[in-house]
Amino acid sequence: MKNIIKILAVLMVLVFTLSIVGCSAEGNDKANSGGQEENVQNDANANQAEGDAQDSEDASAESETMKKIRETKKIIWGTNAEFPPFEMREGDQVIGIDAEIAAKIAEKLGVELVVEDMEFDALITALQSGKIDFIAAGFTIEPDREKQVLFTDTYFKAVQAIMVQEGNEEIKSADDLEGKKIGVQNGTTGDFIASDIPGAEVIRFNNGIEAALDLNNGKIDAVIIDNLPAQMLAKSNPGLVVLDEKPFDAEEYAIAVRKGDTDLQQVINEVLKEMKDSGEIDELANKYSIGE
């Protein structure tokens, strides 16, 4: 009997030990595969100074977009490069605040940045169809857009501004816009606001520069456009001024990714946090707004 108990005890110890070894082996497997995946990302991140790669705890959750970015070693930024100081052309380069953010996103992922410059109102469709991987375009978070794209954290506060010809005695506030010819960029928040003004005739342009030209020529009465671009346009069009009064809702810019691309959203949020915390975004606003 004693022997049987002894044998049983030995067996139990054996089973117990085996199960522990089994568990830890499994644990090691997991840790290893996790490590390997991190290495793949780190390979891509070869130039990255800090080793804060995304945790690969749940590798199966990688989005198709992230997989494609890793495999092609490219990320495609969609924008409308006619929106200084956020994006504008300099030779064949696109520069500006969003351009620097986009470059940081690519750097963080250890991949090349490809720019797709298109009409502003084509951006959402381009994102949804997979032509681009993210939108950075002074893009305001807006309920209707939230239904179509996934926004990141915000990185810039904005408000729509009214531009008129210098010395205009008729339009001194938003109330004076009723029944007027208002120029806007097609599909922007300025367009939405102008469309709600009673009796206003909304003239839609592909970009603010064209709208400012027609305002200068007296073909339209006012332009509604984001505050910072308005200031830039007024600087390069001496005949135009921006009204001090900005009665419209506060807006916030964010970057947009495809619905479901939460892993890319998370990487972009990290980049934005770093750039906001270090004061870099504010510095960029100064850098690109001055001297134009």
Residues of this chain that bind ligand GLN (CB under 6 A): 80, 83, 120, 137-140, 185, 188-189, 226
Q: Output 41 or 188, the one with its CB closest to ligand GLN.
A: 188
State the nearest-atom distance from the C-beta of 141 to ligand GLN, in Å: 8
Cite the beta strand spans of 85-173 per DSSP E.
Answer: 87-90, 93-95, 112-117, 134-135, 150-158, 160-165
β-pairing verdict for 87-90 and 201-205? unpaired
Look up residue 29 and give its two tokens.
């497997």
Return the H-helix or E-strand segment holding 119: none
DSSP bridge partners of 75: 113
Query: Rounded to the nearest whole angstrom, what is the least distance from the CB of residue 183 to ligand GLN in the complex?
Result: 13
Give the distance from CA 233 to its chain's centroid. 23
In this structure, is the dihedral angle defined by the CA atoms of residues 168, 182, 249 and 176, taken in order, positive or negative? positive
Residue 206 CB, nearest distance to ligand GLN (Å)? 10
Least distance from C-beta 284 to ligand GLN, angstroms?
Answer: 16
Pairing relation of β-strands 134-135 and 251-257? antiparallel
Question: Judged by CB, which is closer to ligand GLN: 115, or 137?
Answer: 137
For residues 262 and 83, give the distance between their C-alpha atoms in angstroms, rounded to a whole number.
Answer: 27
Tell me the closest approach of the beta carbon of residue 118 to ligand GLN, in angstroms: 11
